[in-house]
Amino acid sequence: MANNAAGATAQETPAHNSAFAVEAGLKPTPQAIDVAVVSKHIIFATTHVKLRYSRRVTNKRPSIVRDVQDFEKCEPETIRQELHASCTGLPQVFKPERGFSKNAEQANPGSRVLTIIVLRKLLPITVLSGKEFLAAWWQIVKCHYTLWKIGVHHRDVNPSNLTGYRLVCGQFIGVLSDWDLSSDQRGSPSRLEHTGTVPFMALDLLTPGAIAGKVEHMYVHDAESFIWVLAWVCLRYEGGKLISKDRPLEELLKVDALACAVKKAYFFMMELCDLRPSESHKVSWDLVNKCFLGIHSLYTPRRCRKLDDQSAFELLLGDPMQGLL
């Protein structure tokens, strides 16, 4: 994740297949203490102590089936030992933390739960172009809004998290991934605790007041993030590949939250009208301009307008998308 100021929580290691990681000059860290990749299909997160796996694995992925069958035979403690050795390079056995229980439901409060998640391989939607990219982006926008309305709030919309997979028939299905920083109706984390990837965060969350924890994270902020992602891809990708030089918005990767807010405001007020998208994203450019008109209408010299979720969706995303797909 790019630079951030206090109050904006940043992930230092983006997803493994992250196009944004390449842009930001970040590399995956196989020695990271909290994550160990045991196969190309299964990723262990050591922040948990409970073994879960997906039974909905088809015979089209026999290697995944074998991995799951092997690991479901293991005791959680055995897996913890393997994780320790894999992540740290240290062969010695470590003692379980106090309060650890093989039965996660009986674990003391604060105990960790080991989770094994079996996932199909997801591709970043930056590999797409034209209407196929726009359709995948819109699928994810609608999925995100549907979940937001029932209280599941993602709060970290960035190019790394907009992914998908292709069906046998050839259709690409958009998937919103990486829910590590999400919150739910139970209010944890707090809406005043701001998370996200700075270059794509709403301007309202990059102000001194927001950094001090005085601005509540609302749907309108994630909606604005989707627009920044849309513009980012249209300007920086050609034929599914990152443009090699003279990429617009490059400076957003190099500054802190407050400086990023200044540069983003200048971008959509002064620079956007003179920019042109790559050839493979021309179909989306009219939408980009309409969406930024919505963003422009949000901000006054003194504050950001407060909108309910439905109004924010319609103003920033729904109305501009009318008739495009």
Residue 55 pLDDT exceeds 50:
no
Say whether both 152 and 227 belong to one domain: yes
* pLDDT at 13 exceeding the cut of 90: no
Same domain? For 85 and 231 the reply is: no
| Pair 57, 183 in one domain | no
Assess whether 187 and 80 both reside in one domain.
Answer: no
Instruction: Say how far apart CA 284 and CA 226 lie, in whole Å.
Output: 13
Q: Which three-class secondary structure state does DSSP give residue 213?
A: coil
- 156 in the same domain as 62: no
Q: pLDDT (tens digit, 9 = 90+) per residue, 67-89?
A: 555 555 555 566 556 655 655 55
Query: Is 32 inside any structural domain?
Result: no
Query: How would you class 202 by CB atoms within 10 Å of its CB: exposed for 0-12, middle for 13-18, buried for 19 or more?
Result: buried
Residues 142 and 59 in one domain: no
State how far the Cα of 163 lies from the Cα of 174, in Å rounded to an integer.
6
Residue 194's pLDDT band (cuts 50, 70, 90)? low
Total number of domains constituting the chain: 2
Domain end among 97, 118, 139:
118
Structure tokens at 164: 């998908």
Q: Is residue 299 part of a domain?
A: yes
Which of 101, 118, 135 marks a domain boundary?
118
- What percent of the chain clears pLDDT 70, i.e. is strictly above it? 61
Q: Are residues 264 and 283 in the same domain?
A: yes
In a domain, 175, yes or no: yes
Over residues 210-227, the pLDDT tens digits come to: 988 889 999 999 999 999
Domain membership of residue 278 as a residue range: 122-321
Q: Are strands 115-118 and 162-166 parallel, antiparallel or unpaired?
A: unpaired
